[in-house]
Structure 1
């Protein structure tokens, strides 16, 4: 089968054996796959969790059709349309853990479905299991114009957040955040962005922050989180290091958590995905969660797709079609 393989000078299209079905797994004919920032480091042999290395198939997010069932798989049938997140997504066929995949709603295209799995499980875990969102609370999404940021705002709204605040540094993207659940939008390039958030919350601060930025913005993020509030770090797009005022953190009694999947056991990941699937299926079926497809490229034009991603000018997800 054809696959996009990592190489020292950049990814190339190569040939690999089609994956063989395993116990508790299914083989999927991939129809579409979405790009994620984690893929960028894998193009030249970097790793993401246990996956990666020179010659390894790139990609972690796919949508397709089941063509074979392993022993012990009873919840799926050959021909089912499914989506999921697993290594080797940028290939004609991939292997999926039967407990780690989602059904694709009838109304949804493979291209749309490919944009969803990583966000569904990551954000449900961040907001519900780690963030302990309660109905009527206020949620701040730092870096809301990314694909997973758009997902966070919609899931927060679906699960009962009273007010959702979304931030970005792009005026064009800020103007679209209300389409995806934002009640208030803030430009973090503004010197007084923290004051704007406090004004929007009547100086109470937000109950829960879903933070994709971290870096030098974190100090101000602490200041807009209410006393006893929670910050969940999902990404570090603004930087992996920064200054922390430990006194402010302590005095405000703020809970700060990370949610990486790379240090979780297989059983823990199964539990996260099961909870997301049960909680969010209704939202998917009723079109309450959607990620815009910014651009779709044929599988062979993956270089163009990654070039577009590196410019950071896309809104939503970039997808490869097979």
Structure 2
């Protein structure tokens, strides 16, 4: 089968053996796959958790049809239309645990479905489970113009947030954040953004920050968070190391929470998918939570899809179809 593999000379489409499902795994015939920032790093040989390096089939998000079942797989049948996340998504066939997928709604095509699994699981866990957002509370999404960021805005609005703030350093994308639920859009590269947030919250700061940027905004986040507020650290696109004002963190008694899928067990990941199904799945089926598709590429042009991502001018998801 065809797969997009990182090799000795970089990432390229290569013929590899079709995998066989074991245990609770299902075999999926992939019809579309979504690109994510972590994939871009892996095309350059960077590790993502335990994955990466020469011989790695790339990709972590897909939509397709179940083509085979492991002996312990339950709750699904061959032919079911599903979407999910996991390693080796950029291939004609991939494996997934039976608890790490969603059934694709009948009103959604494969391209649309491929945009959702990572964003839904990541941001429901960050905003609702760890962020503990309550109706009427205020929230700031750092890096809101990314695919997962746009989903975070929508989940916050759907869960009844009183004030939703989104950040983007790109003026055009920042100007579109209100389409996805933001009441206020700020430029996190402008030192004045903290004052904008404080002004919008009567000087208190927001109840919750979901941070995909980190780096130089880490201490600024502390200043923009209310006393006894929460910061959920999801990503580090702005840097994994930076100055951190420990005194301000203590003075404001902020609950600072780090999250990642890389160190979670499969049981923990199944629970995250179950929480999405229990809490917000009707809104997904009703198309109240969805992501725009910036551009669709044929799988044979997946290299061009990554060039498009690296140009960093897109809003929404980039998808490749098989």
Cα separation, 1, equivalents of 2:189 and 2:207: 23
Query: What is aligned with 1:6?
Result: 6
Q: Is the Cα–Cα contact under 8 Å of residues 198 and 224 in structure 1 kept in the other structure?
A: yes
Structure 1 residue 188, shift from structure 2 partner: 2.2
TM-score by length of 2: 0.97
Aligned mates of 2:181, 2:19 — CA distance in 1: 40
SS in 1 for 2:10: coil
Deviation at 1:218, TM superposition (A): 1.4
Q: CA RMSD in A?
A: 1.2
Displaced runs of 4 or more, over 3 A: none
- Supply the distance in 1 between the matched residues of 2:13 and 2:55 (Cα, whole angstroms): 10
For residue 65 of structure 1, give the secondary structure of its aligned residue in structure 2.
Answer: strand
Instruction: Tell me how far 1:133 sits from its aligned partner.
Output: 1.2
CA contact (8 A) 1:33 1:61 kept: yes
- Report the Cα distance in structure 1 between the residues aligned to 2:252 and 2:207, rounded to whole angstroms: 12
Q: What's the counterpart of residue 136 of structure 1?
A: 136
Q: What corresponds to 2:216 in structure 1?
A: 216
Listed one character per residue, the Cα deviations across residues 64-111 of structure 1 (whole Å, up to 9, x for unaligned) are 011112223331122111101111100000111111100111111111
Q: d(CA) in 2 for partners of 1:271 and 1:111?
A: 25
Question: What is the correspondence of 1:7-22 to structure 2 with a 5 Å cutoff?
Answer: 7-22=7-22
In the alignment, the residues of structure 2 paired with residue 60 and residue 164 of structure 1 have an alpha-carbon distance, to the nearest angstrom, of 29
Secondary structure in 2 matching 1:232: strand
Conserved? CA contact 1:7–1:44, under 8 Å: no
Which range is displaced more, 64-73 or 101-110?
64-73
Structure 2 distance, partners of 1:243, 1:62, is: 37
47-56 or 164-173: bigger deviation: 47-56
Q: Which moved more, 1:263-272 or 1:132-141?
A: 263-272
**Residue 202 (structure 2) pairs with residue 197 (structure 1):** no
Q: Tell me, which stretches of 5 or more residues in structure 2 are unaligned?
A: none
Cα distance in 2 for partners of 1:174, 1:40 equals: 23
Equivalences for residues 143-222 of structure 1 within 5 A: 143-222=143-222
After superposition, the C-alpha distances for 1:267-318 in whole angstroms (9 at most, x for unaligned) are: 1111112112221211101111111111111101111111111111111111
1:45 alignment partner in structure 2:
45
Partner of 2:317: 317
Is 1:93 aligned with 2:89?
A: no
Could you tell which deviates more after superposition, 110-119 or 47-56? 47-56
Hey, what's the Cα distance between the residues in 2 that align with 1:219 and 1:191? Answer: 12
Report deviation, 1:23: 2.0
2:252 paired with 1:252: yes
How many Å apart are 1:52 and its aligned residue?
Answer: 2.1
The alignment's TM-score, normalised by the length of structure 1, stands at 0.97
Secondary structure of the residue aligned to 1:14 is: strand
Q: In the alignment, does 2:91 pair up with 1:81? A: no
What is the DSSP-based 3-state SS (H/G/I as helix, E as strand, rest coil) of the residue aligned with 1:49? coil
Whole-Å separation in 2 of the counterparts to 1:102 and 1:305: 25
SS of residue in 2 equivalent to 1:221: helix
Cα pair 1:45 1:55 within 8 Å, conserved? no
- Structure 2 match to 1:127: 127
Pairwise CA distance, 1:221: 1.0
Q: Deviations over 1:114-150 (max 9, x none)?
A: 1111111111111122111111111100110011100
Where does structure 1 lack aligned partners over 5 or more consecutive residues? none
- Map 1:94-113 → 2, pairs under 5 A: 94-113=94-113
- Does the 8 Å CA contact 1:207/1:225 hold for their aligned counterparts? yes
How many pairs are equivalent? 322
TM-superposition CA deviations, 1:41-80 (whole Å, max 9, x none): 2224332222222111100000001111222333112211
Quote how far apart the aligned CAs of 1:196 are.
0.6
Note the alpha carbon deviations across 1:176-196, whole angstroms, 9 max, x for none.
111111111112233311111
CA distance in 2, matches of 1:46, 1:246: 31
